[in-house]
Amino acid sequence: MPLKVAIVQQACSQQHQESLKHSIQGIREAAGQGAKLILLPELHTGPYFCQTENSQCFDLAEPIPGPSTEVFGTLAAELGVVLVISLFERRAPGIYHNTAVVLETDGHIAGRYRKMHIPDDPNFYEKFYFTPGDLGFTPIETSVGHLGILICWDQWYPEAARLMALAGAELLLYPSAIGWDPRDDEVEKSRQQEAWITVQRGHAIANGLPLLASNRISIEPDPSQQTAGIQFWGTSFIAGPQGELLAIGPMDEAVVLVAEIDLQRTEAIRRIWPYLRDRRIDAYENLTQRYID
């Protein structure tokens, strides 16, 4: 039976309640269109605060369970959907994670994934805030399937997608917060955006799995005013197990993307493109090295 899935693409405000409202509205719209699995963008209940290093931003973190899992858990139970939300997790004093939480149709926490690859680049100073994940690449079992959840910077690493697939993931999901420097020229912007879409479609193809990639929209200013901020480029998409685009969002509009996927297609695709069968696991030992000198 086909599974109807959805992505909420939204702007995120400095005001927590406004961002929360956008998320809830999008979830309700997706559920109204019959979606049973709904993915939100990375850190969707507030601004992308990692443009600067500011210790006061740690006050934005929350425990799990906590306020966000309570709100969205109640909503998941009301609507009978599986939600994948994203939040700034306060694990302990001085230990914080960038975490995705899966909420089941009855509202309980089915599992969580802590972002493994942490960037440290201009406007994306995440190493200051986030402790690298320690839960590994483990799919989360839900009523709609085994979800291989990875977060933003993880999406550039084929190893992460492969390990999720090898552990039994039936879908790959990537909550993201990615955008341009508004000062970049149009050619550079296009290269970056196309790379983002292409690499993730490649993960779908290489593993024979459907894939959902969410992103936020709008320009978020740099609090330090040292840069032009980040213009998040939207373009959230849903792809099938051959990388085919089933739905794709605009660059600059809030939208709910809905598509039907057939989890049984993975079996059929892997029979004709048996990448996992033909892997030379006897010859891959050097993958555990940083670089082969």
CB 240 within 8 A of CB 225: no
Looking at 12, 50, 57, 152, which residue is catalytic? 152
CB 257 within 8 A of CB 227: no
Q: What's the count of helices (H) and strands (E) in the chain, helices before strands? A: 5, 17
Could you give the residue ranges of the DSSP H alpha helices within 33-131?
67-79
42 in active site? yes
115 in active site? yes
The residues, any chain, with a CB within 8 Å of residue 292's CB and separated by 6 or more, are 286
Looking at 4, 12, 36, 42, which residue is catalytic? 42
Write out the two tokens for 219. 């320009």
189 in active site? no
The residues, any chain, with a CB within 8 Å of residue 63's CB and separated by 6 or more, are 89, 90, 91
Which amino acid makes up residue 42?
A: E
- Phi and psi (nearest 5°) for 148? -95, 95
Looking at 12, 57, 104, 115, which residue is catalytic? 115
CB 87 within 8 A of CB 64: yes
By CB atoms closer than 10 A (0-12, 13-18, 19+), residue 51 is buried
The residues, any chain, with a CB within 8 Å of residue 126's CB and separated by 6 or more, are 50, 98, 118, 119, 120, 153
How far, CA to CA in Å, does 180 sit from each of 68, 186, 195?
A: 28, 10, 13
How far, CA to CA in Å, does 112 sit from each of 21, 89, 97, 98, 99?
A: 23, 10, 11, 10, 7
Residues with catalytic annotation?
42, 115, 152
